Amino acid sequence: MGETFDHIVIGGGSSGAAAAAGLVNKGARVLLLEAGHSHRHPLLDMPPGIFKMINGSKFMRYHKSDPQPHLDGRVQDIPQGNVLGGGSSVNAQVYMRGRPSDYDEWGEILRGSNDGVGWGWKDVLPYFRGMENNNRFAGELHGTQGPVQVSDPGHIDQMSRWFVQAVQAMGEPFNPDFNGATQRGVGFYQFTNRSGKRSSSAYAFLAPLKGNPDLVVKLHAEVAQIIIEKGRATGVTYRDKSGHHTAQTDGEVILAAGALVSPKILMQSGIGPEAHLGEHGIDVTAPLDGVGQNLIDHPEVPVTAFANGPYGYFKQGVGWRMLRNGLQLKLFGSGPVTSAGVEAGAFINPRTPTAAPTIQAFCVPIVYLDRDALSEVEDDYGLTVTTVVVKPKSRGEVRLRSSDPFAMPRFSPNLLKHEDDMAEMINAQRFFRRAFETQPLSDRIRDIVIPTADDDDTLRAHCKRFVKTNYHPAGTCKMGADSDPMAVLDAKMRVRGVEGLRVCDMSAVPDINAGNTNAPAMMLGARCADLIMEDA
């Protein structure tokens, strides 16, 4: 038998790192198993390093979808962090929490659970404030003493400024804080970095515990299954570079491997849809039909234009420009290397401007496309605005590929499958094509490359061809009311039908928040640690 710990956390990403640190800081001895690599690498630390890695890196694991019939058979990638810190070590670092109504909706959904745990905005805000160290905001909505460094962009490209001005000229208000009193408007994002260095969950939560014997971190550790004895999770089996191992716990197993892998591990362990597990010869421990269902992701579609001058970040990472920018960072701590490459954005409702935003936009001062579309547009000075449906209605699923516990899962994201999502995206594309045609941005645009026109047929075909993940898979092991047969978890994040087992990553959410998911993932991990200690 393997070593015994107070708790075992599977997955060292945004939520897993926060959960592990929260437990250790409360006196528990924790084993943290991370399948990926160390987070200590220069490209990971630098804010724009993501653009060097997004189309191929050992720090990413590329999950390929089943062919999507509604997208003419396209096979899509969802890259996930393969590194300590998970997505927070490889993302574009945009700090977004979503809007209060997102969490009040969770609260209503979970009101039918018997656990007495609130998930409304007033319940989660203390966790957001507690982990935040903001360099500009303070007060009721923001924290200044937490471990996660949240900062204004270290560098703002002129194309980003022209974008913000153009969208204001179209009637949208300037918003100085997308995590403030209202989400609507256009402005500049804040980021999880400080002075040109990424503030991942590995740095924020785990680095302060270096040398603490109560935290044992194992890298390259892939979990095969959770051991369940007499209805209780008692340990895990995993492999690393030295072979296969077993670890035991007297407390709980906390699953935080992400919305694609967490349901896979549950199913490998006999927890999931009975018929599907039977197809792979897996004995059922807890029949839960909701495991792997309710896959939600933010769909993203680009609007791309060529610039009429040397604007933006094209060629800034090669040749003499790379040397100049690197020297500027080293000597002065400033310049393009302090930017994550996406400084500006917007939240808008194209149909009803004063209503809750339905669309998030990211302004990227380069030609930026998904891997399967790179050959369709030449690389040149340009600008891409990606439009994202923030509350999509489309739902997908995750399934086992085989009985091999180390095989990648099968999944079908179904991006834009729901007609309402497609309608919202078409409206968004039309709106931001107009932004490219509005001063002062229009003065710097040579040609709008895609989409080529703004009629419905052209925009629909464009959306089908170019839609991609916004890297926010969620919902596949959702919390829900006791009356919901598809609820995998109760309001305390406990797996129904199995004692001593919780899920604390974005797969636990009943619906996705309106905005980036890294901050909510960290909140979920931190709250899970508190719930465990309260129940101990």
Q: What is the CA radius of gyration of the chain?
A: 22
Active site residue 472: yes
Question: What phi and psi, each to the nearest 5 degrees, are found at residue 251?
Answer: -110, -105
- 132's CB contacts (< 8 A; 6+ apart) are 142, 143, 144, 146, 148, 150
Measured distance CA(245)–CA(49) in Å, rounded? 34
Question: Which of 305, 460, 303, 496 shows the shortest CA–CA distance to 386?
Answer: 303
Residue with tokens 């040109």: 196
Question: Which of 501, 493, 505, 478 shows the shortest CA–CA distance to 115?
Answer: 493
Helix (H, G, I), strand (E, B) or coil at 321: helix
Tokens of 322: 């790379």
CA 320: distance to chain centroid?
34
Measured distance CA(126)–CA(43) in Å, rounded? 32
Question: Which of 347, 473, 392, 346 shows the shortest CA–CA distance to 87?
Answer: 473
Question: Which of 361, 351, 376 shows the shortest CA–CA distance to 470?
Answer: 361
Q: Could you give the residue numbers annotated as active site?
A: 472
